[in-house]
């Protein structure tokens, strides 16, 4: 039986409240399910999520990154996944990228695997039980901080993904070399899984280019990212001081500009 959640507090981690997507702000301002909107400006990002949650007073909390936009029925569709006694402590939806290359890769992935069934964090739009965050004490991370949050919540219960429901991610690209270094420093996964994912990242862009984008630039883009992930993983500890301690990195750029 579906449970009635009622109104929820909303957390938006943001370096500056002016960075919040206008489409997201408009939906939340008109939403009858929103109790309070809390903009967390603490740094780094993992800390902003915790600080925001501490200010929430509702049993369930919705959290959105500042660079996403959600459909008007987001809450209705996400909360519908939670039923009485099912042990669910979080529900999120696959965010579809506003960047064409990324979007096409997601379409391909959804067709081959199904985004709903992927064991991966979609924490840029998530409804979670506040009590599931108890004891959460991640490193002061920016890169891969979503993995810490995701893994902690899953220890408290089930995290479900809906299918794609219209969440759009206006992704700001980060240097993949630091992501690769983070994977090695924080040891999220065994080496064989990292190797398998590395091989897949070389193969899937070929099919994305053939069936969706029809340009070799797609292959170049993702191969270049993958090479930088590998380089970061190899360099590992030598990049530790540059991983996760700041909102900014040298050369950061908005992919939509």
CA 135/CA 138 separation, integer angstroms:
9
What is the sign, positive or negative, of the torsion defined by CA atoms of 9, 162, 19, 248?
positive
- CATH number, domain containing residue 152: 3.90.550.10
Same domain, 34 and 148: yes
Note down pLDDT in tens along the chain; length 257 residues.
Answer: 345 688 999 999 988 888 999 999 999 999 999 999 999 877 778 888 899 999 999 999 999 999 999 999 999 999 999 987 789 999 999 999 999 999 999 999 999 988 888 888 899 999 999 999 999 988 877 778 899 999 999 999 999 999 999 999 998 888 899 889 988 888 877 888 889 989 999 999 999 999 999 999 999 999 999 999 999 999 988 888 777 543 333 333 333 33
Whether 191 is in a domain gets the answer yes
Same domain, 214 and 236: yes
Same domain, 28 and 144: yes
Q: Which of 144, 165, 186 is the last residue of a domain?
A: 165
Q: Which of 165, 191, 211 is the last residue of a domain?
A: 165
Domain ranges, residue 190? 176-242
Residue 250 pLDDT:
34
Same domain, 86 and 16: yes
Residue 118 pLDDT:
85
User: Contact at 8 Å (CB) between 124 and 65?
Assistant: yes
Same domain, 12 and 108: yes
Read off the pTM: 0.87
| Helices marked H in the chain | 22-30, 45-54, 74-79, 100-112, 145-154, 176-186, 191-208, 216-235
User: Contact at 8 Å (CB) between 226 and 202?
Assistant: yes
Residue 3 pLDDT:
57
Q: Which of 104, 137, 165 is the last residue of a domain?
A: 165
156 three-state secondary structure = coil
As given in the structure block, the two tokens for residue 226 are: 């993958």
């Amino acid at each position: 039986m579906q449970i009635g959640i009622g109104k929820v507090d909303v957390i938006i981690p943001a370096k500056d409240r002016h960075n919040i997507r206008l489409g997201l702000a408009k939906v939340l301002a008109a939403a009858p399910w929103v109790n309070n909107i809390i903009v967390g400006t603490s740094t780094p990002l993992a800390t902003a999520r915790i600080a925001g949650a501490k200010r929430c007073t509702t049993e369930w909390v919705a959290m959105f990154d500042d660079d996403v936009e959600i459909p008007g029925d987001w809450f209705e569709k996400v909360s519908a996944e939670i039923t009485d006694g099912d042990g669910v402590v979080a529900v999120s939806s696959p965010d579809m990228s506003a960047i064409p290359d990324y979007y096409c890769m997601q379409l391909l992935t959804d067709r081959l695997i199904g985004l709903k069934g992927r064991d991966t964090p979609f924490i840029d739009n998530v409804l979670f039980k506040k009590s599931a965050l108890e004891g959460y004490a991640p490193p002061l991370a920016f890169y891969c901080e979503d993995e810490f949050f995701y893994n902690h919540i899953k220890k408290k219960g089930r995290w479900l993904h809906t299918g794609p429901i219209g969440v759009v991610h206006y992704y700001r690209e980060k240097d993949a070399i630091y992501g690769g270094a983070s994977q090695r420093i924080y040891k999220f996964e065994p080496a064989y899984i990292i190797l398998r994912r590395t091989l897949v990242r070389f193969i899937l862009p070929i099919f994305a280019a053939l069936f969706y984008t029809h340009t070799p630039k797609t292959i170049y883009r993702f191969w270049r990212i993958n090479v930088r992930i590998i380089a970061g993983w190899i360099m590992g500890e030598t990049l530790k001081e540059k991983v996760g301690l700041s909102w900014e990195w040298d050369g950061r750029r908005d992919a939509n500009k």
